[in-house]
Amino acid sequence: MTHRAYDVPMAGGPLKLGRTPLVMGILNVTPDSFSDGGDFSALDAALAHAEDLAAEGADIIDIGGESTRPGSDEVSVQDELDRVMPVLDALAERGFEAPISIDTYKALVADQAVQAGAKIINDVQGLQRDPEIADVAAHHSTPIIAMHWDTERDTARDLIDEMKRWLSRSVDIALKAGIARDAIILDPGFGFAKSFAENYELLNRLDELHALGFPLLVGTSRKRMIGNLLDVPPKERVSGTIATSVLGYLKGGHIFRVHDVRANRDALRVAAATLYGPPQLEG
């Protein structure tokens, strides 16, 4: 399919989404994330990993201070700030160039992070847990990613129809708060309140979500939908993740949130060259 083009307004210049897939590198500064919990919770390790992700070609770095793995405990606003703010401040001091998104559903964390230099807010609760986060995004003219996570969905109804209905509420919250329509990105929320089979149905029908009229972020990296299928632990799910990223791109996805940047970036470049032709190379 042909990718829809979007110019998402962002501090420092618009985020151009379309035929060229963008890769968002994951930086979890948490002790308990499902794949890399504790690996980058120390400041030096977090900073080094941010630099590694950028060197591998990440277009965006997504920093999160609270795990959303099944069974994880919620953390307080202060604990989340204590985890993410030193990293944001240190990256700003270094003149880190890749745009940073803050992975949070808490309005206060989002506000502090944007003031410290984050350029995108990534809310896994789709603005429906703490609606004031939409006010923060509107106040700072910050693009927002609204993810689908509907724990009360009627599973007897069509999956995509229910997702469209829930995500439309997220869009309404954003627009009523004053967020520009072109500053909204949607994430279908692979792995969140969806069964094993539903995740693969979603991947197969991802293109149906374009009817909502917003760019799509695909986040399947190392998730249980891959691990259960292949019977491998999180850090051995790279190949499976690449397959889902490429399939998501072929269904019109724009941004791919991954742990393994270089591998996914390379695969997506091949997929883009196949769909639209390779770039002209010198020599």
Q: Residue 195 burial by CB count (10 A; 0-12/13-18/19+): exposed, middle or buried? A: exposed
The domain covering 16-274 belongs, at the CATH homologous superfamily level, to: Dihydropteroate synthase-like (3.20.20.20)
**Around Cβ 77, how many Cβ atoms within 10 Å?**
15
Sign of CA dihedral 19, 23, 127, 193: positive
Per-residue pLDDT of the chain (283 residues; tens, 9 = 90+): 789 999 999 999 999 999 999 999 999 998 754 454 556 668 999 999 999 999 999 999 999 999 876 666 789 999 999 999 999 999 999 999 999 999 999 999 999 999 999 999 999 999 999 999 999 999 999 999 999 999 999 999 999 999 999 999 999 999 999 999 999 999 999 999 999 999 999 999 999 999 999 999 999 999 999 999 999 999 999 999 999 999 999 999 999 999 999 999 999 999 999 999 998 876 5
Catalytic residues: 223, 257
Q: Where are the domains of the chain?
A: 16-274
User: What's the pTM value of the predicted model, to 2 decimals?
Assistant: 0.94
Place of tokens 């069509």: 158
d(CA 23, CA 199): 21
